[in-house]
Amino acid sequence: MADILPFRKPDLKQKAKGKTLCSNGLHKWRIVQEKQFDVRQGRLVTVYRCTRCNAEKSEAR
């Protein structure tokens, strides 16, 4: 006789496992008010930090 395998759709948790928003490049950026001046560049810099994964990016003005 053959083995009968149950057929179930994967849960949403199993389907989305390992696929978070930040790993796909969809960060939630907020402006960091503590650092506004970069000493090395000598100009104003806007620093953004992701609220989910704490990744940072900067933008020089």
Domain boundaries, the chain: 24-60
Cα-Cα-Cα-Cα torsion 20, 25, 29, 32, nearest 10 degrees, comes to 110
The pLDDT value recorded for residue 30 is 93
Return the amino acid letter for 1.
M
Quick one: pLDDT band at residue 16, thresholds 50, 70, 90? Answer: low
pLDDT digits (tens, 9 = 90+) for 36-57: 776 676 778 888 998 888 889 9
| 18 or 61, higher pLDDT | 61
pLDDT digits (tens, 9 = 90+) for 25-37: 888 899 988 767 7
Q: What's the angle, vertex CA 22, arms to CA 18 and CA 25, rounded to 5?
A: 115
Distance set, CA 6 to CA 3, 15, 37, 59 (Å)? 10, 18, 61, 53
The pLDDT value recorded for residue 17 is 61
pTM of the shown model: 0.58
